[in-house]
Amino acid sequence: MAVNSSQTEPGLSLRMEGFEAPATIAMSMRARELAAQGKDVISLALGQPDFFTPRVACDAAYEAALEGKTKYTPIDGVLALKQAVQKKFKLENGLDYALDEIMVANGAKQILFNALMATLNPGDEVIVPAPYWTSYPIMAKFLGGIPVDVMCSEENNFSLKAADLRKVITDKTKWLIINSPSNPTGAVWSKQDLLEIAEVLRDYPQIWVFADEIYEHLIFDGAVHYSLAALAPDLKDRILTANGASKTFAMPGWRVGYVGGPKRLIKAMMKIQSNSTSGASSISQVAATAALHHCAKDVEEMRQAYDRRRIMMKEAFSNMPGVTCAVPQGAFYVYPGIKGCLGKISAGGRKIENDQDFAEALLEEHYVAVVPGHAFGLSPYLRISYAADDVVLEEACKRIAKFVESLQ
C-alpha cells in the first residue's frame, strides 16, 4: 500500500526514484477513502495526540498575533523559546547547552532533515535500530545516505544491544539514530543499555548520534528516561538531543521542534534552514514557550490518560488468539505480534500471509486502520496508536478481536 512516485514520471528528479510516502500515511489515506464512502472507520494509524493543545499555549499565540509578533523569526528560534529550551534541558535532562548550541525548527522532523543534510555524503551509512520511525531510513536515503538496520528484538524489549550495534558499524558509518521512548514499540531503553551503547561509540569517534527524545514525557510504570548526552558527557559534542512540542504538549500542527548539540553542527543546520524554510512560525514559538513554562500539569493529565488506555489495549490484546503484546513503557503505541494469525483466512476470504495482509483485511472488513510492522522494519507486527478517545479505542479493540476470532 506504499505510495510510489512513478520512476518514469516526466519532470521529476532522479532523487524521487523509489521514494515512498510512509506506510503510516498510505494506511490513513485508504481509511479516509473508506470514510468518504460512508464507512464507520476508526483510524489508529497516525501518531498524534488526540488532545487539544493546552489553553495557555493557545492564548499566548493569540495574544502574540494581536501584538504583531507576526514577523520573520531568527533562524535558530526566538530568544524566549531558546531560553525556555535551555532551562528544560538543564532541569529535565541534566544537560547544559549554551544558547548557540540550541536551535528551533519546524518540528523535530526538520531537525533530523537539517542534521542529515548537513553531514551526509553519498554512500555514508546511517544506523537505524529497527523497529524504527519510518522517516529515519526514508530521509537518510533521500539525502544520499544508506540506512543500515540493526534489529532490536522483542526478546530484548525492543532495545538496542551494544553487541548488535558493534556488528553493523563500518568505516562508512556516519550516524546512529536512537529513539527512546520508541515509535513504534513504546520501548524505553534502560540506563545500562545506553551506557553500553556509549561504550561502543567511544571506539568510533566519526559517528554522530541523533537522540530523538520526543516521547520523553510519555512514560509509565515508573520507567525513567535517560538522555545519552547526560549519561556520556564525553560524547556530548557529537550528540544531537532532539525534542519538540508535538507529542508532549499535544501540539503537532504548530510545528515546533528543538535540539541541543555541538555548535559547529548547529551552525551548519542553521545554514540549511535559512535557505529552505527560514525560522519556525512566530506565534507557534510563543505558544511553545508558554507550554514549556506552564503546562506540566496538562502534560501529567494527558500522560495519565495515555496510561489508562495503554492498560486497556494491553488487556484487549492479551486475550486475542494468535496475538502477543508486550507491555510498552512509553509513547502512545502498542506493537502486538501477529505470528499466530499467519496462514489463516479472514471471513472476507483474504489470506493472511503477512502483517500487510492483516492490516488491509482488518481495514477493509472491520474498518479499523493500523499500520503493518513491515513499515517499521519488523514483521509480523502491527503498530497501533492509542492516542484516541477511550470509547473509540474500546470499539476498535472489539472490532480487532472480532476480526482475529473470525480467522480460520
Ligand X SMILES: Cc1ncc(COP(=O)(O)O)c(C=O)c1O
Residue ranges binding ligand X (CB under 6 A) = 47, 107-109, 133, 179, 183, 212, 214, 244, 246, 252, 257
Which of 261, 276, 405, 266 has its CA nearest to residue 341?
A: 405
By the 8 A CB rule, do 404 and 344 touch?
no
DSSP bridge partners of 211: 178, 241
In the complex, least distance from residue 214 CB atom to ligand X, rounded to whole angstroms: 4
Count CB atoms within 10 A of the CB of residue 369.
26
Q: Amino acid identity, residue 392?
A: V
Q: Crossing angle, helix 108-119 and helix 263-274, to 10 degrees?
A: 100
In the complex, least distance from residue 188 CB atom to ligand X, rounded to whole angstroms: 13
Distances in Å between the Cα of 252 and the Cα atoms of 52, 244, 320 are 10, 9, 33
Which of 227, 189, 193 has its CA nearest to residue 211?
A: 227
Helix ranges (H only) for 176-295 are 191-201, 228-231, 263-274, 282-294
In the complex, least distance from residue 87 CB atom to ligand X, rounded to whole angstroms: 19
Find the residue with minimal CB distance to ligand X: 107
By the 8 A CB rule, do 82 and 188 touch?
no
Question: C-alpha grid cell for residue 159?
Answer: 532495545
In the complex, least distance from residue 377 CB atom to ligand X, rounded to whole angstroms: 13
Question: C-alpha grid cell for residue 387?
Answer: 492516542
By the 8 A CB rule, do 283 and 70 touch?
yes
Q: Amino acid identity, residue 88?
A: K
Which residue, 243 or 379, has its beta carbon nearer to ligand X?
243
Which residue, 117 or 361, has its beta carbon nearer to ligand X?
117
What 3-state DSSP class applies to 344? strand
In the complex, least distance from residue 181 CB atom to ligand X, rounded to whole angstroms: 9
Distance CA 98, CA 102 (A): 7
Which residue, 136 or 403, has its beta carbon nearer to ligand X?
136
Which residue, 145 or 257, has its beta carbon nearer to ligand X?
257
Which residue, 129 or 252, has its beta carbon nearer to ligand X?
252
Helix ranges (H only) for 39-98 are 55-66, 79-93
Beta strand 239-244 with 208-212 is parallel
Which residue, 228 or 407, has its beta carbon nearer to ligand X?
228
In the complex, least distance from residue 331 CB atom to ligand X, rounded to whole angstroms: 8
Which residue, 54 or 107, has its beta carbon nearer to ligand X?
107
Among positive and negative, which fits the CA dihedral 283, 285, 290, 291? positive
Which residue, 107 or 380, has its beta carbon nearer to ligand X?
107
Beta strand 173-179 with 125-130 is parallel
What b-and-e string marks burial along 321-352, b requiring 16 or more CB atoms within 10 Å of the CB?
ebbebbebbbbbbbbbbbeebbebebeeebeb
